[in-house]
Amino acid sequence: MLNRLNKLSRYPAYKEILDCLRSGKRTAAFGVCKYEKFFVAGGLDGFPVYVAPDFVSAQEALRCLNDLTGGGFVYIPYNEDTLLFRQGTGRLRLEINSALDKILSGARGAVLAADALAARYPDRNAFERGRRTLKKGDTVSVSFLARFLSENGFRRVSAVEKAGEFSIKGDIADIFTPDYDSPVRLDFFDDEIESIKLVDKETFRSGEELDGVSLYPLFSVPRGEEQKSVAKSLVDSSAKQKLSADARARQGALLDEMLPSLENGTADNGWLMPFFPCSDLSEFLPQNAVMVWDEPKMLSDKLNRTYDEFFMRIANLLAVGEILPEHTAQLVPREKVFDNFLSFSQLALMSIAGSDTFFNPTAAVSLKSTPLFNYKFNIRQLGEDIKRWKLNGYKVGVFCDDLARGQRLAEALGEADCQVTVSSKEPDELGENTVIAARLARGFVSHSNKIALVGGDDVFSKPVGQNARKLAKKRDKVFLSLEKGDYAVHEVHGIGLCDGVHTLTGSFGTKDFIKLLFRDGEAVYVPVENTDMLSKYGGGESAPRLSRLGGAEFEKVKAKVKSNLKEMAIDLLKLYAARRNSRGFAYKTDEYLDEEFAAAFPFTETDDQLKCIEEIDADLKSTRIMDRLLVGDVGFGKTEVAMRAAFKVVSNGFQAAFLAPTTILAEQHYNTLKQRMEHFDVKVACLNRFRTAAEQKKIIKELSEGKIDIAVGTHRLLSKDVRFKNLGLLVLDEEQRFGVEDKEKLKVIKTGVDVLTMSATPIPRTLHMALTGMRDISTIATPPKERVAVESYVTAQSDALIRDIILREFNRQGQVFLVYNRVETIDLFAARLKNLVPEVKIAVAHGQMNEVALENNIYKFSRGLFDVLVCSTIIENGIDMPNANTLVVCDADRLGLSQLYQLRGRVGRGSRLAFAYFLYRDGKILSETAYKRLCGIAEYSELGSGFKIAMKDLEIRGAGNVLGREQHGHMQKVGYDMYVKLLNEAVGEIEGRPVQKTLNTTVEADADAYVPDDYIDKDNRMTLYQRLAELTGKEEADRLADELREIYGEPPQEVKNLLEIALIKRLASKAGFERVRVDKKGAELDFADKKYLDNPALFAEMERRKNTCRLDASKKLSVQIGFDGKNASANLHSLENFLLALS
């Protein structure tokens, strides 16, 4: 951030621009280079509105302007698909309205791409009426707040998970606005706001206190009766149009689908904008706005393309009934798009002089500037340039993010014979010091002003401190709530079907139970405090066979699985012991070289990446031969982690090999490695069938001579004629996809070599823990922060829609994945698609194709020779194609949530906005499950339970990959959680560790213990039950009580009793009691074994209570405690205190 050096009046040429603008002249500045544009825009008076030609340049402008000014510039996205009716409020709509609110609240400036000028925005007057800022101490009733939020597009839910939702429980309101990454909690005392705090995403506990929270409408047009009335009138008007029978039927179906969605507020109503009053962007800008036009000719050309594409889409969609004639008004008329902004100050920034139809300057300023050389790997060149600039009388500033980095740079420049001084803060003007500890992203040389500014990103690859970015802490265990209809595993009885929560009343009061159905219709009611005996079945996608009640059958199955696990564990432990005893090379660390290589990584490492890099580095520095599994989804950064290891090995004089199962993946790795290593004198070669015989011969020769440092290839690398001079590291990608013969060859090549195996399917953390000591595993579970979000749509399938989607991506020079998962008719579908969209080139890829033909098609698609890849779900597996930014999934309702999630992850890897369309057949009646699944993927949030379920599904599939097919079969018999438990037991028995089995204590309490519906609804109750079952002691119970109080309000007595009973169960189990009965008169605690008498604290507490407490061995060894006749709650508390004394 620059406070003083960015004052334009300090520089003669820039002062001329300011003077022209202040005198009301439309000003054009010629000869401006790229990063000088941001410097000028950031130093303007008033409210700069920076208009860039496209999304990518707008994003860069936003980053640089906020770096320069310390923040305050907002980005206004272009919502380009309001012609499609969609379920769920779009992420872009939320971002747009958030930006509009910030502009009205006094933002520093705005950035947008040209097409956002043409968009329609919510009516300014209606938007203003829906704005409100709440602060601590304000008086507002909770009922008014609920009504206000609903009217402004927020959806009321029981538990807030994503932006646009709110919940109210007693005196607590949780509101998730688009302005924050987590919800905001308002705590009321009567009608007064006592506090406003951010809520932790994971724990839902209150965190950082806020001064206030801004609320504003989230809709495109007003909700309510007026909206419904307009929508219903459209049904009548559509009937009068001259459309084909098919188009009229489609229009009718669309309106039929829309009406109920508008009723319950689940639809994005942007489709209705032409039928309501709207505003253009100029109406939201302050009077002191300065329009900054970045290359007016490019802006004009971009807008013309936007309008041409829009009207082409209008014609196509209108003909088939997807839209109405009024939708031509979704954009501002072409001839008026610039007129709306003529009342503001105008500045055009142009690299070369030129004329344009919309911008006619009344003043011109000629500038002369040049961009900088890339100094990232050439500090000597920077030193030479600094000396030359100073010799010519230029003032020079080299900017570093902090003083330490500035001092290191000064030392490096000194070694290059360029002496500089370092300033610990931003000076008043340039020239006093050369290296300045302040943030400027990118620089330039202004010959007109005789200044040279060098930004931190011109010298270093990323801002300092970004590696230390903290991720939100996660719970070690995410319990996936059992719902009615889910399969569950009971520790004793086996696999059953969950029939939901039932509240029953009996001789021991009213309590909650989970009902499980078993074979032959038999049922078990499990007390909710015993949910630690239950786990959600996760053994595969097919439905399991229900167990017979009683447990004998399931015990046999468990014994068989455990026996097999012992055999597997013995083999793994032998391998691990052999590896531990083998000796390899201990690689040395060159800290300077490692830092240089890390600094050259153009992105910010995630915490998971850094942890994996450390774990692998420790392996390589030890003498033990590495055999590590690196797990993480495609695009999560596994290759960068592997490249760090390869670089270390190569810098120690050894060779590295990257082995991939397919030619495409090998080429992908080769291109990445070549680009990453080019500045470090590391030679990379690729050996696969795309290389000619002569090329292969040369590569093989140079490998044997040690002239190639890193070899990338397919199984061709395993051929007998391939010899390495000094192989140190083997990186295997997706080892499970290699054939049996290749795996045998791998066993030979692995001998004495460090091995890193990469897998794109995540595995469960619990399996990771169970395999600790048998297999070294590193996991990357978090995606990079830089990934561009994917806009998701769920809608009915039609030829016109598919044509529209494909042509839109084609027109922006992108590519489309079209998933059609019916292999038997995929070629017919592709042929029909060629007739539907003759403008594009189409290829087909599916798993039943000839392997060479499959690879050729995917390879050609990756090289841009095809525009559309019609494929099966094969694209789940490892393909990374940043130019493919649109995904279409036909019959999406037939796929599982985890499949949809992974498919969607295949787009959005480039720097452009990506789109995913999940289509279902028009007129098809969707099951409730399919509908929920599609809505879930449309409104995806990593905070949401849907994300966790999808990840769990993926992890279980990943567990199958790690363990092999036979073990996956065993997992299916007992469910995933039971499988891991048995694995832990098997390993413990082999290693001679006694397996700590927890007593499963039963508690019978004569007290009402359940969760009333008006306290926590049934959808969220299961998570509480699991937390109760997992309590470890008093502190955790108190924390849980505090959480309940904070999130849901003061717990009623029935919930307090439930907490007490759950804690008593845990404490009694630790003390050795297998059964506890408590009523109004007293308590009886039965010992599981007399060994538990060996507890001095027991006798000390019995002595203290000698008048009411005694041992009884008449029937079963037990402790008898008498109470003084108080209520059940008091007796529970007294029993808790007794058990606490024993621990």
User: Would you say 607 and 637 are in contact if contact means Cβ atoms under 8 Å apart?
Assistant: no
* pLDDT tens readout for residues 983-1026: 888 888 887 776 667 788 899 988 899 888 888 877 678 778 88
Q: 572 pLDDT band (50/70/90 cuts)?
A: confident
DSSP 523: E
Which pLDDT score, from 0 to 100, does residue 101 have?
97
For 444, counting Cβ atoms within 10 Å of its Cβ (0-12 exposed, 13-18 middle, 19+ buried), the class is: buried
User: Would you say 993 and 499 are in contact if contact means Cβ atoms under 8 Å apart?
Assistant: no
Which pLDDT score, from 0 to 100, does residue 469 have?
31
* pLDDT tens readout for residues 343-379: 999 999 998 766 666 788 999 999 999 999 888 778 8
For the chain, which domains are there?
8-125+225-366 (3.40.50.11180), 132-215 (3.30.2060.10), 369-464 (3.40.50.11140), 552-576+964-990 (no CATH), 596-780 (3.40.50.300), 790-950 (3.40.50.300), 998-1142 (3.90.1150.50)
3-state secondary structure 1022-1041: HHHHHHHHCCCCHHHHHHHH
Q: What percent of the chain has pLDDT over 70?
A: 86
User: Would you say 597 and 647 are in contact if contact means Cβ atoms under 8 Å apart?
Assistant: yes
Least confident among 398-412, 434-448, 778-792: 778-792
* pLDDT tens readout for residues 180-226: 988 999 999 999 999 999 987 666 778 889 999 999 998 887 666 66
Q: What is the mean pLDDT of the chain?
A: 84
Element (H, E) at 195: strand 192-199
Candidates 151, 194, 149; CA nearest to 168 is 149
What angle do the packed helices 976-990 and 552-581 form, to 10 degrees? 60
Which pLDDT score, from 0 to 100, does residue 261 have?
63
3-state secondary structure 1111-1124: EECCCCCEEEEECC
Element (H, E) at 976: helix 976-990
* pLDDT tens readout for residues 470-486: 322 333 333 346 778 88
Q: Per-residue pLDDT for 957 more than 50?
A: yes
Backbone angles phi, psi at 192, to 5 degrees: -100, 135
The amino acid sitting at 666 is A
3-state secondary structure (DSSP) of residue 425: coil
Element (H, E) at 76: strand 73-76
Q: What is the CA radius of gyration of the chain?
A: 33
Query: Which tokens belong to 1128?
Result: 């059940």
User: Would you say 41 and 77 are in contact if contact means Cβ atoms under 8 Å apart?
Assistant: no
- What is the rounded average pLDDT of the residues 37-43? 95
* pLDDT tens readout for residues 1054-1081: 999 999 999 999 999 999 999 999 988 8
- What is the rounded average pLDDT of the residues 32-39? 93
Backbone angles phi, psi at 527, to 5 degrees: -55, 140
- What is the rounded average pLDDT of the residues 772-795? 75
Which pLDDT score, from 0 to 100, does residue 464 have?
44
Length of the chain equals 1143
Candidates 805, 821, 965, 796; CA nearest to 899 is 821
Please count the CA atoms within 13 angstroms of the CA of 355 that sit on its side-chain side. Answer: 1
Candidates 1125, 1029, 1142; CA nearest to 1082 is 1125
* pLDDT tens readout for residues 692-730: 899 999 999 999 999 999 999 988 898 889 999 999 999
Q: What percent of the chain has pLDDT over 90?
A: 40
Q: In terms of DSSP bridges, do strands 523-527 and 345-350 run parallel, antiparallel, or are they unpaired?
A: unpaired
Query: What's the distance, CA 979 to chain centroid?
Result: 29
500: left (phi over 0), alpha (psi -120 to 50) or beta: left
Higher pLDDT, 567 or 747: 567
Which pLDDT score, from 0 to 100, does residue 470 have?
30
Element (H, E) at 345: strand 345-350
User: Would you say 468 and 605 are in contact if contact means Cβ atoms under 8 Å apart?
Assistant: no
Q: Per-residue pLDDT for 16 more than 90?
A: yes
3-state secondary structure 544-608: CCCCCCCCHHHHHHHHHHHHHHHHHHHHHHHHHHHHHHCCCCCCCCCHHHHHHHHHCCCCCCCHH
3-state secondary structure 922-961: CCCCCCHHHHHHHHHHHCCCCCCHHHHHHHHHHHHHHHHH
Query: Which tokens belong to 680?
Result: 């470090």
Which pLDDT score, from 0 to 100, does residue 564 have?
87
- What is the rounded average pLDDT of the residues 50-74? 92
Which pLDDT score, from 0 to 100, does residue 943 have?
43
Higher pLDDT, 324 or 955: 324
User: Would you say 976 and 538 are in contact if contact means Cβ atoms under 8 Å apart?
Assistant: yes
Q: Per-residue pLDDT for 85 more than 80?
A: no
Q: CA 330, CA 278: separation in Å to the nearest integer? A: 10
Which pLDDT score, from 0 to 100, does residue 468 have?
31
Tokens 């994996």, located at residue: 612
93-98: Cβ within 8 A, 24+ apart: 93/218, 93/219, 93/220, 93/268, 93/270, 94/163, 94/164, 94/178, 94/218, 95/178, 96/121, 97/122, 97/127, 97/178, 97/216, 97/217, 97/218, 98/74, 98/177, 98/178, 98/179, 98/216
Which pLDDT score, from 0 to 100, does residue 771 have?
65
- What is the rounded average pLDDT of the residues 290-298? 94
Q: CA 550, CA 566: separation in Å to the nearest integer? A: 26
- What is the rounded average pLDDT of the residues 544-560? 88
* pLDDT tens readout for residues 989-1000: 887 776 667 788
Which pLDDT score, from 0 to 100, does residue 467 have?
38
Q: CA 1047, CA 896: separation in Å to the nearest integer? A: 32
User: Would you say 638 and 784 are in contact if contact means Cβ atoms under 8 Å apart?
Assistant: no
Q: Per-residue pLDDT for 302 more than 70?
A: yes
352-358: Cβ within 8 A, 24+ apart: 352/30, 352/31, 353/28, 353/30, 353/31, 354/296, 354/297, 355/297, 356/296, 356/297, 356/300, 357/300, 358/296, 358/299, 358/300
Question: Which string of b and e fits 544-570 if b means at least 16 CB within 10 Å?
Answer: bebbebeeeebeebbeebbebbbebbe
Which pLDDT score, from 0 to 100, does residue 778 have?
87
